Structure 1
């Protein structure tokens, strides 16, 4: 810093009071907080009723929580002058709305600090309230209202959405009340390779009605712009998409398709276990010991795992499990195939093989075949639309789980939805200069 030029210390500029229409007149540093005495810059001495000039009457003080410096809570003690009109005797006080909204307890700069802490730094609301030296309810109501105004209610937030993902999410683990919500995800950035997925909205309940109602509330132009909807195997999402977005292509993502095969494999393994041994799997039982290995892709098995699988299927009594495992591995191979055309052909072959000719003993494969046949178009549509998967929706579900753990649980769904949108709504400071 050889060429640095220092100016006289200015407490007003350092604490950002000039942007609030205030000027610092003094400070008091205490072990647990800092208090800044301030005055309003604009005199505001003209009557709002008759237009006459007023004369000073007295002063009052207004206290606001401000941006903490060094994690030390900072309090603004604003001296507000009151005037009396010389014409109509009306009494008013200086306008402080530049510093904070009427009856607010936190300055506008403090609100921005709390909002950035929630959105960017992923702080808990308790930590924000501690930094502002206000109660949890005060910080929560003010910061969420500011986030709703600046970010969530932004009319441009839903623009450019062409690929949508829909999934369910458990927002609380209690015995009372509905525990599930429907989450709607914007997968357009993932498909275009421009960024991560983002949360568009969250609706109470997990049903066809919940998703259909949300779609119906969007304008017609927005709905016509949706090209693809990625979803799991729940038929309610499929029906709602067909009714509200007739031109959109539903895609059943690989994660849930492979999980259907994995569930069929587990059900078959447990059934054969019961038939052979008369009890659930225990340590030392071959089928139980290989339960994790059976869910691993054949191309990822180690030599030891290969030997375990070969030894397991060398027993004739495990033939049904071997058949189900073979179908499961073919499904995995279809999605891992380097050529999408070959992958689609393999998956179509699996669906065709399960549609007819499956022995009656293989009840799990017959059930899987009925499901895949019913959703064949949705399953095969994935291979025609690269990067269209509900996997990012599952990733956002993971972020919401982290949010719920950070807050030690939520009791108010409205607060949870607002916090979830701020947490996973894709808001970035460079795209929102007001932050």
Structure 2
């Protein structure tokens, strides 16, 4: 019964007995070719008496670029085992499970393109000519099959938050207070030393939420973590100190650079308002230089740096002097962070740190004092970055993928589905689906 057309169709347990191509959609007639289909699914007894035939039309993937209509004529059998509660049953094969209108490979393909090809549920439903609830269920089954129940141990762990959407509250009438039912923040845990990508997500940016996720791993997993990269968030700091006391905290230098640029911008805005009585605008040179001020001098040509300093020197003293001092302090901090690429020694770090602190103290600006205080507070974690060079860039890249998936889906109403989608999207590289080969 196995012919070339049956091999071409590739549905195990079914054989092609005829193809009608009179219409635009070819009709493929099938019969059961698996002897196991005659056995009762409950007791396993081989049936000997037929109760008639049934015709079903399961949908399948396109064959040769054309979507065919399958017509499966199958038998309904009687179970003669007296102890079996099932009296009759209809033939079924693994390729077309019982009471299913789709073949297993069509359902698997619809779920795989969402998890591994970055396609949305709606677009996958359109491409496979099925409804979006079918694709959503297929994706859930595929994701739970390919994602590990527990992540593998990691040596470098990244923790960062991403905003999910709008929060929701409900009024507790007994206590008379509003309680959060949907938090606007999700905290993600990323493998920075391996290829696992996003290890998991929890809803809510609280220390207890982070501790609960870490406590969900066994003690051997927690003992493997040597470094934890975070931004300057006291919530993550306290959570890691309690759940992973043996791990070394590392502050990502990106957030320090961002903080230094924000400090410079605050100084520029404040002195502009104080001196001019309004916000900066076109025609005010300090406002026109705002983008050049936040660029790193190490990435600018020497003549451009000299021109920038000359421009600042030509401004009114009440504006030029504070902005210049803030710019120098920002560059001192960037020079300190850049030593992480050159394996700094103790004396070099000491000299650069002293220069930064001295600059902030001599400027007598509240913004620079606050920046220096922040650096002093987080200095052990900053020093860990200078020695190890570990950054939280992997977490930031994962957040970008998370936001892209949310935008493609036009938002998520179900946090569980969102976490499942983001985990499959951020682990595609580890699972070999981004390899161009």
Q: Structure 2-normalised TM-score? A: 0.84
SS at structure 1 position matched to 2:200: strand
Residues 219 and 30 (structure 1 numbering): CA distance in 2 closer, same or farther, change over 3 Å? farther
Counterpart position of 2:236: 237
Counterpart position of 2:427: 425
Extract unaligned runs of 5+ from structure 2.
Answer: 170-181
Residue pair 2:27, 2:70 contacting (<8 A) in 1 also: yes
Residue pair 2:112, 2:139 contacting (<8 A) in 1 also: no
CA-to-aligned-CA distance 1:84-123 (integer Å, 9 cap, x gap): 1235382112233x12555444332123322432233322
CA-to-aligned-CA distance 1:337-364 (integer Å, 9 cap, x gap): 4412159944774378539982684111
SS at structure 2 position matched to 1:67: coil
Residues 160 and 37 (structure 1 numbering): CA distance in 2 closer, same or farther, change over 3 Å? farther
Q: Using the TM superposition, give the Cα deviation of residue 304 of structure 1 relative to its aligned residue in structure 2, in angstroms.
A: 4.4
Residue pair 2:59, 2:103 contacting (<8 A) in 1 also: yes
Residues 174 and 239 (structure 1 numbering): CA distance in 2 closer, same or farther, change over 3 Å? closer
CA distance in 1, matches of 2:358, 2:98: 68
Counterpart position of 1:58: 52
Q: Tell me whether 1:263 sits opposite 2:255 in the alignment.
A: no
Counterpart position of 2:117: 121
CA distance in 2, matches of 1:158, 1:211: 16
CA distance in 1, matches of 2:378, 2:430: 37
Counterpart position of 1:4: none
CA distance in 2, matches of 1:112, 1:344: 60
Q: Using the TM superposition, give the Cα deviation of residue 130 of structure 1 relative to its aligned residue in structure 2, in angstroms.
A: 1.3
CA-to-aligned-CA distance 1:239-284 (integer Å, 9 cap, x gap): 1111011111111011111111111111111111111111111111
Q: Using the TM superposition, give the Cα deviation of residue 32 of structure 1 relative to its aligned residue in structure 2, in angstroms.
A: 8.2
Residues 429 and 297 (structure 1 numbering): CA distance in 2 closer, same or farther, change over 3 Å? closer
CA distance in 1, matches of 2:418, 2:23: 35
Residues 396 and 430 (structure 1 numbering): CA distance in 2 closer, same or farther, change over 3 Å? closer
SS at structure 2 position matched to 1:265: helix
CA distance in 2, matches of 1:409, 1:32: 38
Q: Tell me whether 1:14 sits opposite 2:8 in the alignment.
A: yes
Pairing of 1:401-412 with structure 2 (within 5 A)? 401-412=403-414
Counterpart position of 2:76: 82
CA-to-aligned-CA distance 1:52-94 (integer Å, 9 cap, x gap): 6431112334444433347655554443321112353821122
CA-to-aligned-CA distance 1:168-197 (integer Å, 9 cap, x gap): 1122368885322111111112xxxxx5x6
Residue pair 1:344, 1:383 contacting (<8 A) in 2 also: no
CA distance in 2, matches of 1:366, 1:29: 81
Residues 87 and 261 (structure 1 numbering): CA distance in 2 closer, same or farther, change over 3 Å? closer
SS at structure 1 position matched to 2:152: coil
CA distance in 2, matches of 1:206, 1:27: 60
Residue of 355, 364, 367 corresponding to 1:364: 367
Q: Using the TM superposition, give the Cα deviation of residue 417 of structure 1 relative to its aligned residue in structure 2, in angstroms.
A: 1.0
Residues 229 and 25 (structure 1 numbering): CA distance in 2 closer, same or farther, change over 3 Å? farther
SS at structure 2 position matched to 1:58: strand
Larger deviation, residues 348-357 vs 103-112: 348-357
Larger deviation, residues 53-62 vs 128-137: 53-62
Q: Tell me whether 1:40 sits opposite 2:42 in the alignment.
A: no
Residues 429 and 237 (structure 1 numbering): CA distance in 2 closer, same or farther, change over 3 Å? closer
Q: Using the TM superposition, give the Cα deviation of residue 225 of structure 1 relative to its aligned residue in structure 2, in angstroms.
A: 0.8
Counterpart position of 2:193: 188
Q: Using the TM superposition, give the Cα deviation of residue 428 of structure 1 relative to its aligned residue in structure 2, in angstroms.
A: 5.0
How many residues are matched?
Answer: 412
Residues 123 and 32 (structure 1 numbering): CA distance in 2 closer, same or farther, change over 3 Å? farther
Residue pair 2:52, 2:76 contacting (<8 A) in 1 also: yes
Counterpart position of 1:164: 157
CA distance in 2, matches of 1:423, 1:357: 44
CA distance in 2, matches of 1:311, 1:206: 43
Larger deviation, residues 175-184 vs 284-293: 175-184
Residue pair 1:117, 1:123 contacting (<8 A) in 2 also: yes
Counterpart position of 2:333: 331
CA distance in 1, matches of 2:355, 2:24: 72
CA RMSD of aligned residues (A): 3.2
Residue pair 1:334, 1:344 contacting (<8 A) in 2 also: no
Residue pair 1:282, 1:288 contacting (<8 A) in 2 also: yes
Residue pair 1:403, 1:420 contacting (<8 A) in 2 also: yes
Residues 385 and 92 (structure 1 numbering): CA distance in 2 closer, same or farther, change over 3 Å? same
Counterpart position of 2:175: none
Residue of 129, 142, 152 corresponding to 1:133: 129
CA-to-aligned-CA distance 1:312-334 (integer Å, 9 cap, x gap): 13443222222221121122223
Counterpart position of 1:350: 353
CA distance in 2, matches of 1:171, 1:420: 12
Counterpart position of 2:107: 111
Residue pair 1:230, 1:253 contacting (<8 A) in 2 also: yes
